């Protein structure tokens, strides 16, 4: 049975999609069967795998609205063991249209249940908000990964997200848990960044903060611009090495989950 992981942060510009894309590629390169669900109307995970949106016959929108089965919209990427349920800006319309749908917050969960057993890991790239679509994502996942940039307002955003997670866990998804916080775009030369990282590591149990830190790296940006995960664009770069290590750390946590679940 596949483990479903949401990459979540309601704050934009924290490396959320970059993390989702590169972790998916890293896990695929390790031989794991991966599905990445682009659940952000910006569709950056889709373009991050070099997919041309204008040629898509079905997307997350049609699937979430019940117009298509997920198997009709999932397509292979060019990269080993990774398939994607792509998205376009049309997904924005679902936020309004789902408002009148019964069990509107559970639509994505219904979709994921149809396909999760076909994969080792399903990664959902969540949109940066806390609206209906974001709640759908939190209800659909088993664990969440929170990419975080070490800036002064980061802790405030994290506290807000944690409150939302607690509410969803209490009302709709009792199995929802944090897998961990991952620091992204880190420049260790900045004193403030180091202090924020230190404070967060003190505030959370050690297993809730990933040991791997993603450095600020121009090669990652270059890889995004050509629609390639960094481990294929430049595996030996600092960014490529970091995301490869993060993928291994995530898989180790998944194995621990499997052992606990018997």
Residue 43 belongs to domain with CATH number: 3.40.50.300
Q: pTM for the full model? A: 0.95
The residue ranking higher by pLDDT, 248 or 198, is 248
Sheet holding 121-126, edge to edge: 75-76, 82-85, 34-39, 121-126, 3-7, 143-148, 177-183
pLDDT band for position 262 (50/70/90)?
Answer: low
Q: What pLDDT shows up at residue 137?
A: 96
Give the domain range for residue 74: 3-260
Residue 152 pLDDT > 80: no
Strands 3-7 and 121-126: parallel
Chain centroid to CA 158: 16
- Looking at the structure of the chain, the number of domains it has is 1
Residue 107 pLDDT > 70: yes
The arithmetic mean of pLDDT across residues 123-141, rounded, is 92
Least reliable range by pLDDT among 71-75, 121-125, 256-260: 256-260
Q: What pLDDT shows up at residue 202?
A: 86
pLDDT band for position 1 (50/70/90)?
Answer: low
């Amino acid at each position: 049975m596949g483990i479903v992981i949401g990459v979540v942060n309601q704050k934009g510009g924290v490396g959320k999609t970059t993390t989702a894309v590169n972790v998916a590629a890293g896990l695929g390169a390790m031989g794991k069967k991966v599905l990445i669900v682009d659940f952000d109307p910006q569709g950056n995970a889709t373009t991050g795998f070099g997919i041309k949106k204008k040629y898509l016959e079905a997307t997350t929108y049609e699937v979430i609205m019940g117009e298509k089965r997920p198997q009709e919209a999932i397509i292979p990427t060019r990269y080993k063991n990774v398939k994607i349920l792509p998205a376009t800006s049309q997904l924005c319309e679902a936020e309004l249209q789902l408002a009148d749908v019964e069990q509107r917050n559970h639509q994505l969960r219904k979709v994921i249940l149809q396909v999760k057993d076909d994969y080792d890991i399903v990664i959902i790239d969540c949109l940066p908000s806390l609206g209906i679509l974001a709640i759908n994502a939190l209800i659909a996942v088993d664990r969440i990964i929170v990419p975080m940039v070490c800036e002064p307002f980061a802790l405030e955003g994290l506290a807000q997200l944690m409150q939302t997670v607690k509410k969803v866990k209490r009302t709709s998804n009792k199995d929802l848990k944090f897998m961990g916080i991952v620091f992204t775009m880190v420049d260790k030369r900045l004193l403030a960044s180091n202090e924020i990282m230190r404070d967060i590591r003190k505030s959370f149990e050690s297993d809730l903060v990933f040991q791997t830190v993603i450095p600020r790296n121009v090669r990652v940006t270059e890889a995004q611009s050509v629609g390639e995960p960094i481990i294929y664009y430049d595996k030996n770069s600092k960014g490529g090495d970091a995301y490869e290590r993060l993928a291994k750390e995530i898989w180790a946590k998944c194995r621990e989950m499997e052992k606990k679940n018997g």
